[in-house]
Amino acid sequence: MVKVEAGNGQLTHRQILAVLSGLMIGMFLAALDQTIVGTSIRTIADDLQGLSLQAWATTAYLITSTISTPIYGKLSDIYGRRPFYLAAITIFVVGSLACTFSTSMYELAAFRALQGLGAGGLMSLAFTIIADMMPPRERAKYQGYFLAVFGTSSVLGPVIGGFLAGTDTILGITGWRWVFLVNVPIGFIALAVVWRVLRLPHEAHDHRVDYWGALFLTMGIVPLLIVAEQGREWGWGSVGSVSCYVIGLVGVVLFIWVESKMGDEALIPLKLFRTSTFTMIIIAGFVVGIGMFGGISMIPQYLQIVKGHTPTEAGLLMIPMTLGIMVGSIMSGQITSRTGRYKIFPIIGTALMVVAMFLFQTVDVDSSIWQPTIYMTIFGFGLGNCMQTLTIAAQNAVPTRDLGVATASATFFRQMGGTVGVAVFLSILFSTVPDSIKDAFTRIVPTPEFQAALKDPAVLGNPVNKPVLDALQGGGGNAGVLQDSSFLQQVDPRLARPFLEGFAESIDAVFLTGAFVMVVAFVTTFFIKEIPLRTTTSDNLDSVPHV
C-alpha cells in the first residue's frame, strides 16, 4: 500500500505510478462513458421513440456532473480526497446500473442525472490528487499517462458503443443497455484498486460546508440550461422561458452573494478571480467547452444519419479525432514540461478548432468520407492543445492550498460550457430539421429521380417506404424522423434523399454556429497573462502574483 505525503515533493516515480494506477482506472470509467454513449445515443433514442429528446439524456448527465464538480472539490479540501473519490465511483456505478432499466428517454435522463452526480468527482478529483503530489512543471510530464487512458477510452468507447448499440441482444439483454451495464464491472475494479493504493493523509480543519452556495448554484444553472435546450420549442419569449430566465438570474445573484459571505469556505471562492490569469483561463475553458462538447455531439449524427454508417463504423471513423487529441496533448505536455511555458498552446488549439468547424460546415450528403476525417483530425489536435494545458495553468495560478477548488472550478466551467453547447446545438439541430426537410422536399420532389421512385412498383409495394409516401400525401412532413430515424437506412435511397439533405443542412448550421463560438475562445486566449509554471509543490506561492 502506498502512502502519499501530499505536497512534500519527495515521491519516487514508482510511488507516483502506484497512485496513478488507481486514478487512471477511475478516469477510464468517466472517459469511457463520455465516448461510449456518443455513438450509441441515436440507436438508444430510436429504440425509446425519442430521437429529438436525446438532448435531455445528454444534458441531464452534464448538469449534475457540472454542479457536483465544485462540491467534490470543496468537500475534498475539507475532509480529504480519498473518501469522495470512492463515493464518486460508487454513485457512478449505481447510476449506470439504473440506466440499463430505462423504458423511456425521460427515465434515461433521470438515471443519467444520477450517473452524472458520480462523474462530477471522477475527473476533477483525479487531477486534484495529482496536483497534491507534484508541481505543475513536473505534472506536465505525467500527462502522458492520463492521455493514454483518455486516448484508449476515446478509441474503445465509440467502437464498443457502436458494437453494443448495433447488436440486437447480448445474453438476453438489448444490446444498447450494455453501454451502461459495462460500467459496472469496471467500476468494481476501480473501487478495489483505489481502496488499495490511494492513501492521502489529511489534516483536519475547522470548516463550514457551503450548502446554500450549492443550492443557489443549482437554482441558477438548471433553469438556464433548460431554457437553452427548450427555448426554441417553447418560444424565447414564452411564459416558460421567461420564468426560467427569472429563476436562473435570481439563483445566480444569490449564489454570488452567498459566496462573497462565505469567503475562503465558499464553494467557488471569489478570491480566485482576483487573479486575471485564472479568470481568463476560466472564460477560455468555458467557451472551449461549448465548442468541444457541442461539436463532438454533431459528428456521430452526421456519420450515422446523413452518411448511413452503423454505430460501430461511426466509432471507428472517429478514431482520427482521438489520435489528434492524443498527439496534441502529448506534444503540448512535453514542451510545457521542458520550457515551463504554456500560453501558445491554447492559442494554437483554439485556432485549429475554428478552422475545423468552418470546414465541417461545408460537408453535405455527397461529401467523401476523407473530408470529415481530415476535419476531425484537425479538431482533435486543436482540442488536445487546450485540454490539460488550461487545467495546469489554472492550478498554477492559485496558492497550493486552493488546488482542490481551483481544479474543480476549472472543470466546472468547462463542463458548464459543454452542457450549454450540447443543449443549444442539439436544440438548433432539431428545431431547424423540420423546415430543412420541408425545403429539401420542395427541391427534390420535382426531380426525375424522385418522380421515377414514386412510379416504381417495387417502391410502392415495399412497406418500409410507407412513412415517406404517407408524408408526401400530407404535404411533405418529417415522417416521424424526429422520433425514430432508423427507417432512413431501409427506404429507397431516392425517397430518403430529402431527409438526408435536411439533416445535413441543419448540422452544417450547427457547425457554423460552433465556429463563431470558437472565434470567441481564440480571442480570449490572447488575454491570458502567462505565469511561469512552478517547480515545487510548496506553498511559497501565497505568492501567486495578482496580475
> What counts of helices (H) and strands (E) characterise the chain?
21, 2
> For position 52, what pLDDT does the model report?
62
Q: What is the pTM of this model?
A: 0.75
Q: Is the pLDDT of residue 4 over 60?
A: no
Question: pLDDT, tens digit, for every residue of 211-269?
Answer: 888 889 888 888 877 777 677 677 778 888 899 899 999 999 999 999 888 887 787 88
pLDDT of residue 494: 84
Locate 244 and state its grid cell.
426560467
Q: What CA–CA distance (Å, rounded) separates 359 from 381?
A: 15
Helices (H), 48-181: 54-79, 81-99, 105-133, 136-141, 143-165, 178-181
pLDDT of 186 over the 80 cut? yes
Check whether 433 has a pLDDT greater than 90.
no
519 backbone dihedrals φ, ψ, rounded to 5°: -60, -40
Integer Cα distance of 42 and 299 in angstroms: 12
- Mean pLDDT for 461-489 is 66
| C-alpha radius of gyration, the chain, whole number | 24
Q: What is the pLDDT of residue 206?
A: 55
Class of domain 13-210+267-434+507-525: mainly alpha
Is residue 174 within a helix (H) or strand (E), and if so which, with residue range? strand 173-174
pLDDT tens by residue, 378-431:
998 998 888 778 888 887 887 777 777 777 788 778 878 877 787 778 778 878
Please tell me the distance from the alpha carbon of residue 426 to that of residue 511, in angstroms, as a whole number: 11
DSSP three-state, residue 446 = coil
CA distance 217 to 254: 8
* Lowest-pLDDT range of 189-193, 230-234, 432-436: 230-234
Collapsing DSSP to helix, strand or coil, 103 comes out as coil
pLDDT at 147: 63
